[in-house]
């Protein structure tokens, strides 16, 4: 068990709200009280650049810079792309460049994962969220370790997932000690696969939780946390304060925005940024995200491992998702994701099952690198519901739009020539943080990941796929192996030894 002796204990919600935030861990990253989210700069970029016609020559220079360097753009350059994205011809060039960058950095892979909601108790009062304190419609529960094992038996034993995003409400009963115990439980559970009986397990647990102090983050680092993901919801301070009451822990804007600085200081070197699109002007939010990424790079020379793009979706007990004046359509959403790929070229881009199948399908080539499937976000939803598509508004944070199973997703991706990756190897080989940033920017990481994608895809096809899906996957793997032989001829025999061992039943082989 993890050593949690450094974690502070709180007697109740009032004590937690009053004493959880450590002001000194905010101040050190806001020297002189100046915040790195420069709203005046953002507003100037929108008014003076994004709202004026773009110069095609300048646009193409920015696209060339993005593709050649894979470095985070300046906010002014991102604003130029915002303007250009309204021109259909220029946007077509942007989209094509984004596709090439995605192929350069990540190859033709899509990484799959599943969300696993551990609890929906919360001490906050976010006006748009079904989990907020005081929402009497929400059915509250916290998974016990036995219940968590039941969820894992479905996720790892029936569906075949190997990567999770574990999601926690902010509450004193589900603090760091609980998070650490659930992560260890996930890693320790071994479940036989239906086709072969070979043991499958979760190999990477990413976490979506509330911002934590440095000592707590160090505890999670020791138990093997993957990416630590915190969504800012909105970077607009005034709107943030309207949406998040001052009495709540989440009402502290500076505590939330400095979360990733604390992560990187604590050694949790893969961090995931996200904004809840639909609360505010998308241009403001995306420019603020760029500033956030650049400040992390300034302090630690490490940018975000992933960017997520959740949109406001209906939730129990709130009308905000229907009444917000900033809701965006699918065309605008594609513009946002494309600009993000160009602005932070090295980062992973996650598009979750909040989106409709149509929306996610159109983003696969141009920017997306990760998606979830066979998802159920009700607390204990996987083991309670035989049908993964079943949803209950009062048991989940919001409603999902894409209920496709992992079988459906694998076949859809394969028909597009895209390989489904279950790989978690890089994280266990130390290719994280600054190391993976360099590998991503040069395209080296994509080569390792292609090989590991083939090995893990072979595992999943043999252990979990139907005969029809396995036949489709076999053809794609044959094509992928031929490609590996062409661009890595000297290494190809070594790859084939691992591949043949996987076919014989060995598991978790990687480079």
Mean pLDDT, all residues of the chain: 93
Percentage, residues of the chain above pLDDT 70 = 95
**Integer CA distances (angstroms), 245 to 18, 75, 425, 426, in order:** 14, 30, 41, 40
**Across residues 77-84, what is the average pLDDT?**
98
| CA–CA gap between residue 77 and residue 103 (Å, rounded) | 22
Nearest by Cα to 172 from 7, 25, 316: 7
- The answer, yes or no, to whether residue 304 has pLDDT greater than 80, is yes
pLDDT at 437: 57
pLDDT at 390: 80
Helix or strand (DSSP H, E) at 149: helix 145-154
Helix or strand (DSSP H, E) at 167: strand 163-167
SS in 3 state form for 74-107? CHHHHHHHHHHCCCHHHHHHHHHHHHHHHHHHHC
Split at pLDDT 50, 70, 90, the class of 131 is: confident
**Across residues 369-388, what is the average pLDDT?**
90
Nearest by Cα to 229 from 257, 209, 253: 209
Give the side-chain half-sphere CA count within 13 A for 5: 1
| CA–CA gap between residue 417 and residue 423 (Å, rounded) | 18
**Across residues 475-481, what is the average pLDDT?**
97
Which DSSP string do the residues of 250-287 spell out, in sequence order? GG-HHHHHTHHHHHHHHT---EEEEE-BTSS-HHHHHH
Q: How far apart are the first and last CA of the chain?
A: 29
Alpha helices in 375-466, H assignment, sequence order? 381-384, 406-415, 425-428, 433-442, 444-464
pLDDT at 5: 84
**Across residues 254-276, what is the average pLDDT?**
97
Which residues have CB under 8 Å from 435's CB, separation 6+? none
Which residues have CB under 8 Å from 49's CB, separation 6+? 76, 79, 80, 82, 83
pLDDT at 68: 96
- The answer, yes or no, to whether residue 431 has pLDDT greater than 80, is no
CA atoms 339, 294, 271, 42: torsion sign: negative
Residue with tokens 């075949």: 160
- Which is higher by pLDDT, 444 or 350? 350
**Integer CA distances (angstroms), 174 to 45, 82, 138, in order:** 41, 40, 17
- 309-342 pLDDT, tens digit per residue, is 999 988 888 999 899 999 999 999 999 999 999 9
| CA–CA gap between residue 276 and residue 264 (Å, rounded) | 23
pLDDT at 164: 98
Nearest by Cα to 506 from 469, 455, 471: 455
| CA–CA gap between residue 7 and residue 3 (Å, rounded) | 9
Q: Could you give the angle at the alpha carbon of 129 between the alpha carbons of 378 and 82, nearest 5°?
A: 110
Report CA Rg, the chain. Answer: 22
- The answer, yes or no, to whether residue 174 has pLDDT greater than 80, is yes
- Which is higher by pLDDT, 394 or 20? 20
Residue 72 DSSP one-character state: P
Q: What is the dihedral of CA 56, 60, 62, 63, to 10 degrees?
A: 130
**Across residues 80-103, what is the average pLDDT?**
97
Least confident of 152-166, 210-224, 279-293, 432-446: 432-446
Residue 197's φ and ψ, nearest 5 degrees, are 75, 0
- 101-128 pLDDT, tens digit per residue, is 999 999 999 999 999 999 999 999 999 9
| CA–CA gap between residue 101 and residue 95 (Å, rounded) | 10
**Across residues 57-70, what is the average pLDDT?**
97
- Which is higher by pLDDT, 197 or 11? 197
Is residue 237 within 8 A of residue 253, CB to CB? The reply is: yes
Is residue 455 within 8 A of residue 502, CB to CB? The reply is: yes
Residue 51's φ and ψ, nearest 5 degrees, are -95, 5
- 6-32 pLDDT, tens digit per residue, is 889 998 889 999 999 999 999 999 999
**Residue 289 C-alpha from the chain's centroid:** 14
């Amino acid at each position: 068990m993890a050593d949690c002796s450094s974690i502070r204990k709180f007697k109740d919600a009032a004590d937690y709200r009053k004493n959880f935030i450590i002001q000194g861990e905010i101040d050190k990253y806001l020297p002189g009280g100046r915040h790195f989210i420069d709203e005046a700069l953002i507003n100037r970029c929108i008014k003076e650049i994004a709202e004026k016609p773009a110069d095609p020559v300048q646009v193409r220079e920015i696209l060339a810079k993005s593709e050649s360097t894979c470095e985070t753009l300046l906010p002014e350059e991102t604003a130029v792309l915002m303007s250009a994205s309204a021109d259909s011809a220029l946007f077509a060039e942007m989209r094509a460049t984004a596709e090439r960058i995605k192929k350069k950095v990540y190859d033709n892979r899509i990484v799959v994962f599943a969300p696993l909601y551990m609890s929906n108790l919360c001490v906050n009062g976010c006006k748009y969220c079904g989990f907020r304190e005081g929402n009497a419609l929400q059915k509250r529960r916290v998974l016990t370790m036995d219940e968590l094992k039941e969820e894992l038996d479905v996720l790892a034993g029936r569906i075949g997932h190997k990567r999770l995003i574990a999601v926690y409400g902010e509450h004193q009963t589900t603090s760091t000690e609980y998070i650490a115990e659930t992560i260890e439980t996930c890693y320790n559970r071994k479940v036989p696969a239906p086709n072969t009986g070979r043991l499958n397990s979760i190999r990477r647990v990413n976490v979506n939780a509330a911002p934590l102090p440095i000592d707590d983050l160090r505890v999670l680092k020791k138990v093997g946390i993957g990416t630590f993901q915190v969504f800012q919801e909105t970077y607009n301070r005034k709107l943030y304060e309207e949406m998040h009451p001052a009495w709540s822990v989440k009402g502290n804007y500076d505590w939330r925005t400095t979360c990733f600085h604390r992560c990187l200081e604590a050694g949790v070197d893969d961090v995931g940024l996200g904004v809840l699109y639909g609360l505010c002007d998308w241009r403001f939010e995306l420019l603020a995200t760029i500033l956030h990424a650049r400040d992390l790079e300034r302090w630690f020379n490490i940018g975000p491992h992933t960017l997520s793009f959740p949109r406001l979706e209906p939730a129990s007990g709130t009308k905000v998702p229907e009444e917000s004046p900033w809701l965006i359509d699918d065309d605008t959403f594609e513009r946002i994701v494309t600009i993000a790929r160009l602005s932070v070229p090295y980062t992973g881009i996650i598009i979750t099952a909040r989106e409709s199948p149509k929306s996610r399908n159109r983003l696969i080539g141009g920017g997306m690198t990760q998606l979830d499937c066979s998802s159920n976000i009700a607390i204990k939803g996987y083991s309670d519901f035989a049908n993964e598509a079943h949803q209950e508004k009062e048991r989940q944070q919001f409603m999902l739009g894409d209920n496709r199973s992992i079988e459906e997703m694998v076949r859809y991706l394969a028909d597009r020539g895209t390989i489904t990756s279950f790989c978690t190897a890089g994280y266990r080989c130390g290719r994280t943080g600054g190391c993976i940033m360099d590998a991503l920017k040069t395209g080296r990481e994509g080569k390792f990941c292609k090989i590991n994608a083939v090995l893990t895809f072979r595992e999943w096809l043999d252990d979990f796929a139907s005969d029809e899906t396995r036949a489709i996957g076999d053809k794609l793997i044959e094509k992928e192996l031929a490609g590996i032989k062409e661009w890595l001829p000297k290494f190809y025999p070594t790859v084939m030894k691992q591949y043949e061992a996987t076919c014989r039943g060995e598991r978790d082989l990687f480079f």
